[in-house]
Structure 1
């Protein structure tokens, strides 16, 4: 790769605090979702939980679709 070539920016990765802020929900809700298997898919980096923006967007879309099916 040449020094002038740019690499695509990585999509955002959120902490539980960032996810709670993004969704406008209490941090405790994010932790409860994580412990019960609900909510967007998260992953661990060492001992820390993180959420990829595309996983959060996919989960939000699935929630909207579920509401539309009612």
Structure 2
């Protein structure tokens, strides 16, 4: 059985699990434009993994 790669696009729920934060927190960040940039894909909001990693790196630098 091959090892699965991490998906390039994360749903809000997947991002929340990855960051170990409640889904409501991630949604609040998006609403206030303080979290990683996401975009609408059909009815869903998705986040590019590279954008999330860049956002985390920026947060780490300012901490």
Normalising by structure 2, we get a TM-score of: 0.85
What does residue range 1-70 of structure 1 map to in structure 2 within 5 Å?
A: 12-67=8-63
Query: Based on CA coordinates, which of the two structures has the bigger radius of gyration?
Result: 1
**Distance in structure 2 (CA, Å) of the matches to 1:29 and 1:58:** 19
- TM-superposed deviation, 1:47: 2.4
- TM-superposed deviation, 1:62: 0.3
Q: 5+ unaligned residues in a row in structure 1: which ranges?
A: 1-8
- TM-superposed deviation, 1:46: 2.0
Runs of 4 or more off by more than 3 Å in structure 1? none
The aligned length equals 58
Aligned Cα root-mean-square deviation (Å): 1.3
